[in-house]
Amino acid sequence: MLGGSITVPASPCSHAPARSVSPWVGGAGTAGAVAVVGAGKMGLPLAAQFASHGWNVTAVDINPAVVDAINAGQSHVGEEPGLAELVARVHAEGRLHATTDAAAAARASDVVVLIVPVMLDEDHKPDYRYMDPAVASITPGIHEGITVVFETTLPIGDTRRRFAPALEAESGLKAGSDFFVAFSPERLFSGAVLANLAAYPKLVGGIGAASTDRAAAFYASVLDAEVVAMSSSEAAEFSKLADTTYRDVNIALANEFAQAADLWGVDVQEVIAAANSQPYSHIHQPGIGVGGHCIPVYPHLLLSRAPGLRLVETAREVNDGQTGRALAALSGLLGGLSGAPVLVLGITYREGVKELAYSRAIPLIAALRETGADVAAYDPLLDDAEIGRLGATPWHWGDPGPFRAVITQTGDRRFLALDPAWFPDLAVVYDGRNSLRMLALPQGVTYLGVGVQAATRARPA
Ligand SMILES: NC(=O)c1ccc[n+]([C@@H]2O[C@H](COP(=O)([O-])OP(=O)(O)OC[C@H]3O[C@@H](n4cnc5c(N)ncnc54)[C@H](O)[C@@H]3O)[C@@H](O)[C@H]2O)c1
């Protein structure tokens, strides 16, 4: 039991073939034309899903290579089971094509779904460098009856206050009555997107009842999972921030439990599994840090609209402090890190997903370099140039090396095949995801987990 996760069963598709209509006005059993703006890791699977339910889909992207790939029937998104086949099929059936012309796509569509990133600037404030131009690009195509849905995670209030007025500006039409605007959070997990689409309830909140109804009708026609109509766009925006911030705070708590477990020489994973046998306990797992462009980002989007939430702020500090704690532990064991050859394994924010956004490996490598350590790194998903750009020397799996310390930053199962004989000077393995507890280490090599110690790790997790 690893922390309160539940399995939502996939719903088999029970839609009869849809009847194509124009304009589409929300009728059951009908399909129209939809534009998906931002055909990236989330947008492309959405586009393919919509097309597989009878909609005519235009994928809009500013990257011509993305547009060309889709127009050739190819998925440019790797590591997503079933996506390449689905893109090829719906493209061959003539229901998916791509363009860079957002205004024309919106003009020809009944529904526009926006799924371009909103990120953070250097002060942890929302950075709209992609979303504002995306909204501006569809604005000339706004017409009576169109439904615009934001799936990108947004700060509370943005759908109504920032974007609905921007969409109204050129057309002179009134959002909420002449056309419809809603928020529907994208909650999918990279690597399982198509399976999640069939299982996760779809939350929909409009800027008014008419917008909620029209957007909910759209999702009911393209998704097999339950569609949940919410009372407002703000409630829907908040729900995504609440879900992700909860996870960040939960992990911070697990990280503090790990510190207490180290203090007492107790295995934190044993403690968490036992605690979670109580059905109301859902403690997550500790680790060397929280990365990716979701969990570390969204608490800041919440704080941008609700400043001073102390638990939320503290959780961010605790989780970002995990790399410093790892280095302090290593430095203590090695008598300082200056000049020490150190190997970091797992550089993407998590195993199996080629995404470096907010990966904790980046500050980890930077901090190691600051101490004067000689840093090498390896990730099965990155090439030498990508590793080199992060300031580390590429290491190749199986090469001998002078490393005194190995740190894992992802829980990739293949790291269990590491052979300590490759590194004759190895003194310590820092297991940043507690995934190497079964790794055999020769005498004289110290194992350090996050709340798991050399003496307790032999117990299977
Ligand atoms: N990736 C995830 O795991 C995940 C999970 C849940 C939700 N989300 C949400 O999805 C959003 C998008 O994430 P993603 O992983 O698909 O991002 P991505 O970087 O893979 O894709 C974004 C795409 O948008 C395109 N783009 C940027 N500006 C544009 C513009 N003005 N007009 C048209 N296209 C533009 C880019 O070229 C790119 O292809 C995130 O910000 C988040 O809110 C992501």
In tens, the pLDDT along 270-324 reads: 999 999 999 999 999 999 999 998 999 999 999 999 999 999 999 999 999 999 9
Please tell me the predicted confidence (pLDDT) of residue 1: 31
Q: What is the pLDDT of residue 459?
A: 65
What backbone phi and psi angles, to 5 degrees, belong to 448? -130, 120
294 tagged catalytic: yes
Q: Which class in CATH covers the domain with range 19-231?
A: alpha beta
Q: What does the angle CA 457 – CA 429 – CA 353 come to, to the nearest 5 degrees?
A: 95
What number does the ligand 1 atom closest to the CA of 185 have?
7
Which of 13, 174, 202, 240 is an active site residue?
A: 240
Backbone torsion region of residue 366, taken as left when φ is above 0, otherwise alpha when ψ lies between -120 and 50, otherwise beta: alpha
- Indicate which residue's Cα is closest to atom 19 of ligand 1: 40
Structure tokens at 418: 């590491």
In ligand 1, the atom with minimum distance to the C-alpha of 77 is 20
Q: How far is the CA of 151 from the centre of ligand 1 (A)?
A: 10
Q: Distance between CA 412 and CA 432 in Å, rounded?
A: 11
Which residue's entry shows tokens 């507890």?
A: 437
Share of the chain above pLDDT 90, in %: 92
Q: How far is the CA of 39 from the centre of ligand 1 (A)?
A: 7
Mean of the per-residue pLDDT values for the chain?
96
pLDDT digits (tens, 9 = 90+) for 202-230: 999 999 999 999 999 999 999 999 999 99
Q: How much is the pLDDT for 9?
A: 82
Q: How far apart are CA 31 and CA 39, in angstroms?
A: 20
Q: If you take atom 21 of ligand 1, which residue's CA is the nearest one?
A: 40
Both tokens of 57, joined, read 């889909």
Q: Is the pLDDT of residue 196 over 50?
A: yes
Question: Distance, CA 424 to ligand 1 centroid (Å)?
Answer: 44
pLDDT band at 461 (very low <50, low <70, confident <90, very high): low
SS3 state at 185: coil
Categorize the per-residue pLDDT at 460 as very low, low, confident or very high, splitting at 50, 70 and 90: low
Spatial distance between the Cα atoms of 106 and 135, rounded to a whole number of angstroms: 11
**Closest ligand 1 atom to the C-alpha of 190?**
3
Residues 282, 276: contact at Cβ < 8 Å?
yes
Question: Cα of 130 to ligand 1 centre, how many Å?
Answer: 9
Delimit the CATH 3.40.50.720 region(s) of the chain. 19-231, 321-449
**268 phi-psi bin (left φ>0, alpha ψ -120 to 50, beta other):** alpha
Among 221, 139, 222, CA closest to 181: 139
Look at residue 328 in the predicted model and tell me its pLDDT: 97
d(CA 34, CA 108): 8
Residue 90: both structure tokens together:
């719906």
CATH number of 321-449: 3.40.50.720
What does the pLDDT read at residue 134?
Answer: 98
Separation of CA 278 and ligand 1 centre (Å): 38
240 in catalytic set: yes
DSSP-derived secondary structure letter, 67: H
In this predicted structure, what is the pLDDT of residue 458? 78
d(CA 31, CA 255): 48
3-state class (DSSP) for residue 303? helix
The mean per-residue pLDDT over the stretch 250-272 comes to 98
Strand partners, 429: 406, 447
Q: Is the confidence at residue 5, as pLDDT, over 90?
A: no
From residue 292, give the alpha-carbon distance in Å to each of 78, 157, 192, 313. 17, 24, 16, 18
Per-residue pLDDT, 8: 77
Higher confidence at residue 436 or residue 79? 436
Give the ligand 1 atom nearest the CA of 44: 16
Name residues contacting ligand 1 (CB within 6 A).
Answer: 37-43, 60-63, 66, 102, 115-118, 130, 133-134, 137, 152-153, 186-188, 190, 294
pLDDT at 4: 41
Question: What's the CA gap between 235 and 398, in Å, rounded?
Answer: 51
Closest Cα to residue 291, out of 374, 357, 369?
A: 357
Nearest CA to ligand 1 atom 22: 40
The pair of structure tokens assigned to 354 is 């080629």
- Hey, whose CA ends up nearest to atom 10 of ligand 1? 152
Q: Both tokens of residue 169? A: 């500006």
Please tell me the distance from the alpha carbon of residue 408 to that of residue 380, in angstroms, as a whole number. 13
Quote the ligand 1 centre to 38 CA distance (angstroms): 6
